Structure 1
Amino acid sequence: MKTALIQQKYHGSKETTVAHTVAQIETASHNGADLIVLQELHQTEYFCQHEATRSFDYARSFREDLAFWSSVAKRNEVVLVASLFEERAPGLYHNTAVVFDTDGSLAGKYRKMHIPDDPGFYEKFYFTPGDLGFEPIDTSLGRLGVLVCWDQWYPEAARIMALKGAEMLIYPTAIGWFDEDPEEEKTRQKESWTTIQRSHAVANGIPILSCNRVGFEADPSEALDGIRFWGGSFVCGAQGEILAQADDRSETILTADIDLKRTKEVRDIWPFLRDRRIDAYADLLKRYCD
């Protein structure tokens, strides 16, 4: 399976950004990509840097956006993983990943389960936690375990997707650092981000595709200077080995070939699922063990 991750910056408006994304998808498809992954909230700026009710307007086109990206998937005959702002009802919104099959049909969707709330990442203001659970999405290419950004820090989410038969994990992402942070801290943050996801690949014996945005986006409220998204999109194999990785500043189409047959080979030599002590994990259902 040839995969492509579209790592890009925000181009100043939804219309210009979407046009750029479509051109990148067409290029990736022309070069043989079967599966194309877009970054988190790829149509717009990362509006969660501040709390503004006017940003909810982005979600009102959710149905039109579904139809548009469906047509893009169909026209390019690819499985497409998109990341959209969903208005479910007035006052009820989700950060939703949507998967389209090669014929443009809606294969399934996933609503982001873990919602952060940190300086510059005020997502709890915008997004209701997902209620669809951790359910893999079946496509013509296989069963995809799609999660979103903050979900990538949680081994429980990755494990459940794997236990339900996901053949790979996919993370549309929007993460970056603040320019004023020390270089040592920036390095620690990015290495932690890469390491935790590679560990999910190792622990579950399946590939990982993580697609992050890139470029600097100023904070409209001016409470902070803004976020410099660190790119670094990557694909790793079932033992956590890096198959392809983008740099931290360039827009790029990152491609990698994935051999799904390796999952059996890896799990046969590292049978972590066999040796799980499911009789001893009840404490995982507690917030904290006092």
Structure 2
Amino acid sequence: MRVALLQLAADIDSAANRDLVTSQLAELDVDDGIDLVVLPEATMHDFGAPDLDLAPIAEPLDGPFVQMIAAEAVRLRTTIVAGMFERTDGLPFNTLVVVGPDGQLRATYRKIHLYDSFGYKESERLLPGEIAPVVVEIAGRPVGLMTCYDLRFPELARALVDAGAETIVVPAAWVAGEHKLDHWRTLLTARAIENTVHVVAAGQGGDRYTGHSLVVDPWGSIVDEAASEPAIVQAVLDADDVAKARSVNPSLANRRIKPTS
């Protein structure tokens, strides 16, 4: 499975962000044969200031942002995963949409673990999603979804693997700060090693966020990594790598503490 990660810095102007995405995706071509394109969390609209009300800017799943993603998925004949704020009757969800090559919405994942940490309170502006793993088949491969702060909760990654995931996709807006880049790399690598999966992480860059979008293989080796500026990271994920890693290191099979439900 060939993947492309778009690292960008979203603004608090939804229309400008749509233009930014289309301009960056213009660097990709259908002849590139890309199976999966991953955009960061909050690509539709940045979180903005901590007191910014996200409800008025949230969009429905058939709104302008998803329509733009659908048009690009059709143009590239690929599946796109992207982060948005999803409108409800109250507080919005922090949602990942999965749009297929036919332009149809194939799945959604609503962020379970809201970022109430490091002095932030995401739960004051957003609703948490249902506690249920979301795995979607892309190019014949089972792909699990999580968002940013979810990365700090290994039980979610394990639930995705127990649901069949062989690749975990992590769109993020990982806030920059002391220790944060070390945490980002370490946690992504740990999720890959302990679950013997590929991990594909697309982060927002710029001054506010950590950037460093990267791909980790099932052995925990970083295949490729961006810096903080806008970038496109591409990689090929070989299903045989997962099978080989699980043969040499059958830690999943050797578990003695099994899921209780």
On whether the aligned pair clears a TM of 0.5, the verdict is yes
More strand by share: 1
Q: 1:240 aligns with which of 214, 220, 243?
A: 220
- Partner residue of 2:124? 125
**1:207 — aligned with what?**
198
Residues 30-67 of structure 1: CA deviation (Å, up to 9, x unaligned): 544221000001122223x41233x3111145421333
1:28 matched to 2:28? yes
> Distance between the aligned counterparts of 1:46 and 1:143, measured in 2?
30
Listed as ranges, the matches of 1:262-273 within 5 Å are: 262-273=241-252
Shift of 1:92: 3.9
Question: Partner of 2:72 in structure 1?
Answer: 72
Moved over 6 A (4+): none
Cα drift, residue 11 of structure 1: 4.7
Paired residues, number = 259
Shift of 1:261: 1.6
Please give the per-residue CA displacement for 1:73-112, whole angstroms capped at 9, x wherever unaligned. 1122111001111113x11421111111111122211110
Distance 2:59 2:158 in 1: 33
Kindly tell me: are residues 61 and 51 of structure 1, through their superposed partners in 2, closer, same or farther at Cα, counting changes over 3 Å? same
Aligned-partner SS, 1:97: strand
Which ranges of structure 2 fall in alignment gaps of 5 or more residues? Answer: none
Look up the match of 2:100: 101
The structure that is helix-richer by fraction is 1
Query: C-alpha offsets along residues 135-168 of structure 1, whole Å, 9 cap, x if unaligned?
Result: 2112334211010000011110100101111120
- Distance of 2:190 and 2:250 partners within structure 1: 15
Judged with a 3 Å threshold, the aligned counterparts in structure 2 of structure 1 residues 109 and 143 are, in CA distance, closer, same or farther, namely same
Report the equivalent of 2:16: 16
Instruction: Say whether the 8 Å CA contact 2:45–2:85 is kept in structure 1.
Output: no
Assess if the C-alpha contact under 8 Å between 1:205 and 1:263 holds in 2: yes
Q: Does residue 261 of the first structure (1) align with residue 240 of the second (2)?
A: yes
Q: Deviations over 1:217-269 (max 9, x none)?
A: xxxxxxxxxxx212111001011111000013x11111111112211111001
Q: Secondary structure at the match of 1:63?
A: coil
Q: In the alignment, which residue of structure 1 is the partner of 2:42? A: 41
Larger radius of gyration: 1
CA contact (8 A) 2:36 2:138 kept: no
Q: Which residue of 2 aligns with 1:161?
A: 160
**Aligned-pair CA distance for 1:12:** 5.9
**2:255, 2:57 → 1: CA distance?**
43
Partners of 2:206 and 2:194 in 1: CA distance = 32
Shift of 1:13: 2.4
Counterpart Cα distance in 1 of 2:201 and 2:250: 24
Q: What are the ranges of 5 or more consecutive residues in structure 1 without an aligned counterpart?
A: 179-185, 217-227, 286-290
Hey, what's the Cα distance between the residues in 1 that align with 2:59 and 2:181?
33
Write the distance in 2 (CA, Å) between the matches of 1:267 and 1:132.
27
Aligned-residue sequence identity (percent) comes to 27
CA, structure 1 residues 199+105, in 2 after alignment: closer, same or farther (shift >3 Å)? same
Tell me, yes or no, if structure 1 residue 85 matches structure 2 residue 85: yes
Decide whether the 8 Å contact of 1:28 with 1:253 is kept in 2.
no
Match of 1:261, SS state, is helix
Question: One-letter code of the match for 1:8?
Answer: L
TM-aligned CA deviation for residue 193 of structure 1: 1.6
What secondary structure is seen at the aligned counterpart in 2 of 1:57?
A: coil
